[in-house]
């Protein structure tokens, strides 16, 4: 397995039988987003000769083992991949990573295991999310060891349960720089370039594109600060609120709703206008926004590259249950619709919770899978 001089990205062949097609469909976009996009797979080539060529020219073969693997086209694919010995023993052959989508915790695994492959190195996909992260870690480590470049794996799907403890764990696990939570982080910074036209910043380290500028908070709904009466009303259990308190709470909830509508509107505007040539922009997750954090203050006075506009804070799509929800839960009267929004602050290298109705600049991100 020798890195190609033409590309630093590894070539992956995704091998599966007919009953593994659904699992392959689920895994394919994850591989691509993680920088291991399969150049070919079992359905992408129609002839046996072309399939053998694709396998032998690949750096990795991800084999989805299923009940249909034995005595099938897939078994022949894997025999081609390993030749007379297991792929990991020969640097000229692709490394085969086995993923069992049925039976690793059951006796049925004997029905899908192949004798000519090492059965001690099978990744268990009984729990898909756990299996995927094990596969990614194996691919990532093997790719770096072989001299390939591999992007950061960042979550693109928003979460609404990100409390302070979950955020702190995420920052440390990813090695992001944060003055408050991980002052020793930030060893690997984003690899940024300004795309032609000057509207989009390309990050090759995470395979993401960003809008250079932000939607300024001056064009977003303005929500007044909470009054003392509002704070009391919000912290009062719903069953004990007066009519006046209910009206105050409803008004505050409406402000949050108006902010959500405004964010949707600006996202739609950006995509209809095909800003930068794309129509799949969205708000970033906290992981994505934190990946831009620089360990040192840049020329614009912020902990973010000077390629970006000098907005000190940006809003993310991630949310926290928030202090109000937690307080109401103590009374056994949880109320839906409350939560805080996570914001990344490049002025002080930190992230913080703010009320959902707070007007915070909007910077958008996209990947080739959005």
Regions of the chain with pLDDT less than 50: 2, 4-7, 84-89, 104-107
State how far the alpha carbon of 13 is from the alpha carbons of 49, 181, 290, in Å.
15, 39, 32
CATH 3.40.50.10140 spans which residues of the chain?
A: 12-145
Among candidates 308, 321, 319, 320, which has minimal Cα distance to 364?
308
Q: What is the pLDDT of residue 335?
A: 57
Which secondary structure element, helix H or strand E, spans residue 123, and what is its range?
strand 122-124
| Residue closest to 337 by CA, chosen among 280, 255, 272, 275 | 255
Cα 142 to Cα 147: distance, rounded to the nearest angstrom: 9
At 158, list the tokens. Answer: 């928003």
Read off φ and ψ for residue 174, nearest 5 degrees: -85, -10
99: left (phi over 0), alpha (psi -120 to 50) or beta: beta
Rounded CA-CA distance 179/163 in Å is 18
pLDDT given at position 239: 83
**Which pLDDT value is given to residue 218?**
95
Q: What is the pLDDT of residues 54-103, one digit of tens each?
A: 888 888 999 998 888 888 888 889 888 887 444 444 555 788 898 987 65
CA distances from 333 to 107, 186, 241, 249, 319 (A): 46, 41, 12, 15, 20
> Which tokens hold the place of 270?
């950006």
pLDDT of 227 reads: 92
Locate 128 and state its tokens: 């898909």
pTM, entire model: 0.75
- What pLDDT, in 10s, does the model give residues 304-332? 999 999 999 999 999 998 666 666 566 55
For residue 90, what pLDDT is reported? 52
**Backbone phi, psi, residue 319, to 5°:** -130, 160
* Helix runs in 155-226, H state only: 164-174
Which CATH class for the 12-145 domain? alpha beta
Residue 259 is predicted with a pLDDT of 96
The confidence score (pLDDT) of residue 202 equals 95
Q: Is 281 within 8 Å of 267 (Cβ atoms)?
A: yes
Contacts (Cβ under 8 Å, ≥6 apart) of 39: 11, 12, 13, 54, 58
Is residue 276 within 8 Å of residue 209, measured between CB atoms?
Answer: yes
């Amino acid at each position: 397995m020798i890195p190609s001089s033409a590309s630093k990205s590894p070539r992956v062949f995704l091998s599966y039988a007919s009953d593994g097609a659904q699992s392959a469909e689920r895994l394919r976009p994850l591989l691509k987003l993680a920088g291991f996009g399969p150049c070919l797979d079992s359905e992408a080539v129609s002839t046996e000769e072309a399939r053998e060529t694709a396998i032998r020219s690949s750096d990795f073969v991800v084999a989805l083992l299923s009940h249909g693997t034995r005595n099938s086209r897939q078994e022949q694919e894997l025999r081609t991949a390993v030749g007379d010995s297991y792929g990991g023993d020969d640097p000229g052959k692709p490394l085969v990573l086995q993923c069992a989508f049925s039976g690793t915790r059951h006796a049925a695994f004997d029905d899908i295991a192949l004798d000519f492959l090492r059965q001690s190195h099978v990744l268990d996909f009984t729990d898909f999310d756990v299996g995927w992260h094990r596969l990614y870690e194996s691919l990532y480590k093997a790719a770096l060891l072989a001299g390939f470049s591999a992007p950061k794996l960042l979550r693109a799907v928003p979460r609404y349960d990100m409390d302070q403890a979950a955020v702190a764990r995420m920052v440390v696990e990813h090695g992001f720089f944060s003055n408050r939570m991980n002052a020793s982080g930030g060893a690997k910074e984003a690899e940024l370039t300004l795309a032609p036209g000057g509207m989009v910043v390309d990050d090759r380290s995470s395979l993401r594109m960003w809008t250079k500028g932000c939607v300024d908070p001056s064009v977003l709904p303005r929500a007044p600060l909470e009054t003392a009466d509002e704070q009391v009303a919000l912290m009062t259990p719903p069953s004990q609120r007066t009519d006046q308190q209910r009206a105050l709470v409803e008004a505050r909830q409406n402000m949050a709703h108006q902010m959500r509508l405004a964010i949707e509107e600006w996202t739609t505007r950006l995509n209809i206008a095909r800003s930068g040539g794309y129509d799949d922009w969205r708000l970033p997750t906290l992981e994505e926004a934190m990946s831009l954090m620089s360990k040192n203050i840049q020329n614009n006075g912020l902990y973010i590259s000077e390629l970006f506009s000098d907005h000190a804070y940006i809003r993310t799509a991630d949310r926290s249950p928030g202090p109000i929800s937690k307080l109401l839960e103590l009374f056994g009267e949880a109320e839906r619709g409350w939560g805080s929004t996570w914001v990344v602050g490049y002025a002080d290298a930190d992230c913080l919770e703010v009320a959902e109705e707070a007007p915070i600049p909007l910077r958008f991100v996209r990947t080739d899978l959005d």
